[in-house]
Structure 1
């Protein structure tokens, strides 16, 4: 039996996935959680073979939960399942240790097959998404620019960003100017959005 952990904040979706997987003779759902922060604890308790994680969840998002789970229980294979097939999410999921990435509007049999293939040691990714992610390329930012843009995501002031990343206000302004130029954005909020979508943060 393939032991599966489900993490999705929408109870209806989580229930539907569990019911669908229960119909498969070789799959058993051993845990269901609604918050990314519950994933590692549930995995330690139930020791699943495969974790099916939603990307967007309250508290700890699925991408952060994937990285935590990959560290805590490396034997558990991870499949990200999301409504949003964005190259940025795909790139971050692969960097977090995910072995699969599927979108929720895929046919049910495709999701079941993805679980089986990932359990068998293979990778499962949407070919179009993988191609788009490769086409967008690697991040154009330096490590410091990325730190500054991450700190700026929530609309923090230059002074707050400077304190958070241990740089002077002038250096923060220079880095923000650079990332705005590199993304072709009108402002830092737009630069952060573009960077997020491309998986550069």
Structure 2
């Protein structure tokens, strides 16, 4: 029996996934959580073979939860199942320690097979996303550029962003200028949205 932890902030989606996977004779859902912050505690309690995580959740996102889980419970394999099939997300999830990455419109039989493959130690990656990820190349943004762009999504000034990230307005402007160039954008908000669409933030 392969035991599973499911993490998704949408209760309806989580419940449907639990029901679909529960129909499989060799799969058993042993824990369900609605935020990334709950993943590690639930995994410590239940020791699942596979954690099936969404990316965009309240609190800690699925990629950060993946890194934490991979570090603290390496025996639990991680499969990302998300609505947001962005190449940057794929790359970041695999770098964080995920063994698989599929989108939510994957048929239930394929999802169950992906869980089995990951549980056996294999890798599963959505083929179209894998191609996009290779073609798109790695995330060119530095950690600081990602940080200031994330705050730029709100349209805040360089001074306001600087106050949040403990940098001078001039340094913030330098990071934003660099990020604008790397994303081929003309404004900080456009750069932030483009980076978000590519899964770089």
- TM-score when normalising by structure 2: 0.90
- Distance, in Å, in 2 between the alignment partners of 1:32 and 1:175 is 39
- Structure-2 residue corresponding to 1:50: 50
Paired residues of 1:145 and 1:175 also in contact (CA < 8 A): yes
Instruction: Say if 1:52 and 1:79, in contact at 8 Å, map to a contact too.
Output: yes
Runs of 4+ aligned structure 1 residues displaced above 6 Å come to none
CA distance in 1, matches of 2:53, 2:143: 28
Work out the CA distance in 2 between the residues paired with 1:57 and 1:164. Answer: 22
- Would the alpha carbon gap of residues 85 and 24 (structure 1) be closer, same or farther in structure 2, given more than 3 Å must change? same
Q: Distance in 1 between matches of 2:17 and 2:79?
A: 13
Can you give the 5+ residue segments of structure 1 that lack an aligned partner in the other structure?
none
Gap change, CA 1:75 and 1:88, over 3 Å in 2: same
Structure 1 stretch 110-119 or stretch 5-14: which is displaced more? 5-14
CA contact (8 A) 1:89 1:197 kept: no
**Aligned twin of 1:161:** 161
Counterparts of 1:85-96 in structure 2, within 5 Å, are: 85-96=85-96
Match in the other structure for 1:25: 25
**Unaligned 5+ residue runs, structure 2?**
none
List per-residue Cα deviations over 1:133-161 (Å, max 9, x = no partner). 11111233345434433443443431233
Shift of 1:172: 2.0
Q: TM-score, normalised by structure 1?
A: 0.90
Q: Is the 8 A contact 1:133 1:198 kept in 2?
A: no
| Aligned pairs, number | 201
Q: 1:146 to 1:36 in 2, by over 3 A?
A: closer
Q: Secondary structure of the residue that 1:95 maps to in structure 2?
A: helix
CA gap 1:74/1:111 in 2 versus in 1, 3 angstroms: same
1:83 aligns with 2:83: yes
Rounded to whole Å, the distance in 1 between the matches of 2:172 and 2:12 is 44
Hey, what does 1:36 align to over in structure 2? Answer: 36
**3-12 vs 58-67, greater mean Cα deviation:** 58-67
